Structure 1
Amino acid sequence: MASAAAPAAEAAEGEAKKGGGKKKLLLIALPVILIGAGAGLWFTGILPGLLGMNPPPAQTAEGEGAPAAEAPRPPAFFDMPEIITNLNVPGRRPVFVKLRSKLEITRAEDSAAIQTAMPRLLDLFQTHLREMRPEELRGSAGTQRLREELVARANIAVAPPAGSNQPTPRITDVLFTEILVQ
């Protein structure tokens, strides 16, 4: 009888091992599934919303009494006078550049401030152009460098004097309507 009990005990022990393997698999798979589901909910924005971490923008503006953000204004443009000046060409016949441009400004109200600063703007533009060589204006890279330099100089020219309470006009871009090097 002892011999008959031994095979039954071995069979029960084998079943326990099989069940133990399923338990180990379950212990590993369950956290992986939960982490995957949590990550999916987090990156879709459902979990932060459920936890109140990022309320919808409409709720923030109306619910807390915060003022609604202003709609972005379309840019305004200011026509610059035509500039004709010579370029820096030592020892050769003179080379001239003709430039027509528009300034892109953030607010149309800044046109008066730009008109007031026009002598300074023209001076800064012309002095920069006179120092350039014709090779520096070739290609789109040269035009882009000229644009960046003119935007920086224009913002310097239209800045109000230090200590002034006037709002600073902001020039965001210089748009070329004509560049002729001859």
Structure 2
Amino acid sequence: MAEEGDDVQEQEEGDAAQASGGTLFGVPRLFVFIGAAVLLLLLVGGSAAYFLGFFGGSPPAEGGTHTEKEHHSSHGDSHGHGNNSHGSAAGEDSFVTIPRMTVNLNTEKGPARFLRLSVVLELEDPGDKAAVEAALPRVVDTFQTYLRELRVEDLRGSAGRYRLEAELLWRVNEAAAPAKIRDVLFQEILVN
């Protein structure tokens, strides 16, 4: 009789377990839900990694692929003799130095604040150096007019520096047109 009572009690416990959650496919439901959540996280994480470029390597740089013929023509012949084309785009003739500028910044209240700036321009075509040097007074005037309207807050942090670079690059390309400036390189930025 005791055995019969134990069997009834075990069956009642099994019925209670099924009613309170039980099993699904022979596995407790809690484990099924945890497994589904982990699988979902893996899928989302894998998709994000794929779209962010973690798989498949990096794309080739612009102009990074070239044919075998182009490879040999740009790197010399089979005897190791080059064609002197390397380094000509970034030589000393590719840069124009703008004289150091000191301008007062726009301060509505408080003491006067100053900006000291030294800039070097990188040219797209070294042949434009004479044209850019001839336009230098116009470039300096354009820069000073813009810089005098800046506030100290406009120059704070790396975001301020990048905005300043973008604005100066746009302005120098306008002032020195048709010459094309590739980059504005800061040598000194001092806010006092």
Decide whether the 8 Å contact of 2:89 with 2:126 is kept in 1. no
Alignment correspondent of 2:69: 58
1:148 aligns with 2:166: yes
Instruction: Give the secondary structure class of the aligned counterpart of 1:94.
Output: coil
Q: Which amino acid aligns with 1:83?
A: M
* Residue of 92, 99, 107 corresponding to 1:81: 99
Structure 1 gaps of 5+ residues are 1-55, 63-69, 160-167
2:142 matched to which residue of 1? 124
Superposed, which structure 2 residues align to 1:134-145 within 5 Å? Answer: 134-145=152-163
Larger Rg: 1
Counterpart amino acid of residue 120 in structure 1:
R
The CA distance in 1 between the partners of 2:87 and 2:155, in whole Å, is 34
Higher helix share: 1
4+ long deviations beyond 4 Å: 70-73
Q: Provide the C-alpha distance between the structure 1 equivalents of 2:115 and 2:86, rounded to a whole number of angstroms.
A: 40
Name the structure 2 match of 1:92.
110
User: Which whole-Å CA distance do the structure 2 matches of 1:91 and 1:138 have between them?
Assistant: 18
Corresponding position: 1:181 with 2:186: no
Q: CA contact under 8 A between 2:103 and 2:114: conserved in structure 1?
A: yes
SS at match of 1:173: strand
Query: Given the two structures, how large is their TM-score scaled by the length of structure 1?
Result: 0.56
Q: Which blocks of at least 5 consecutive residues in structure 2 are unaligned?
A: 1-66, 74-84
Distance apart, 1:176 and its partner CA: 0.4
Q: Separation in 2 of the partners of 1:153 and 1:73?
A: 26
8 A contact 2:135–2:175 mirrored in 1: yes
Deviation at 1:73, TM superposition (A): 4.2
| 1:58, distance to aligned residue in structure 2 (A) | 2.4
**What is the rounded CA distance, in whole Å, between the counterparts of 2:142 and 2:127 in structure 1?**
23
TM-score for both structures, normalised by structure 2: 0.53
CA distance in 2, matches of 1:111, 1:74: 12
RMSD over equivalenced CA pairs, Å: 2.3
What SS does structure 2 have at the residue aligned with 1:90?
coil
Query: What is the aligned residue count?
Result: 112
Report if the CA contact (8 A) 2:118-2:187 is conserved: yes
Q: How far off its partner does 1:57 sit?
A: 5.4
1:106 to 112, 124, 132: 124
